[in-house]
Amino acid sequence: MKHASTIQYQPDNMTKKSPRGFCEDIYICYIQDKSTEPIDQALDSLSTLQQSIHKIQTEVLQIMGVDENWETVAATSRVIQGITSWVEEILCQVLMDESTVPDLYREQKFMYQVMTA
């Protein structure tokens, strides 16, 4: 399965850096513009990617069953789910209490900062 072997590189292609770097860039864009648009765009892109991965995962399962290819796609899916949850956390904090966002960032309290430290 061609897609199964290349899908593992999709998070790297999308984030251009590490998952933490991707989240950092989104945070910086938010702080500069005070707009949730970069966060919303990131979540849309992640959702589209996750849907593609799920489709490929289903195809691999149907054709080959649970094997090495399926495990590769599943691992990639988990990475995207993790990144998505980190970006959603930033958005939730912005929506709940925008004034606390810089403090949480400075104190390294966002999950992407804690999990990748």
Show the domain range for 68. 18-115
Q: Tell me the pLDDT tens digit for each residue of 1-39.
A: 555 455 555 555 665 678 999 999 999 999 999 999 999
* 7 contacts: CB under 8 Å, gap ≥ 6: 52, 53, 56, 72, 73, 76
Mean pLDDT, residues 102-108 taken together = 95
- Asked, for residue 6, whether it belongs to a domain, the answer is no
Is the Cα dihedral 66, 70, 71, 76 positive or negative? Answer: negative
Number of domains in the chain: 1
The CA-atom distances, in angstroms, between 41 and each of 9, 13, 38, 57 are 20, 16, 5, 24
Residue 45 lies in a domain: yes
pLDDT digits (tens, 9 = 90+) for 33-79: 999 999 999 999 999 999 999 999 999 889 888 888 889 989 999 99
59 within some domain: yes
Q: Give me the pLDDT at residue 66, please.
A: 86
pLDDT at 8: 52
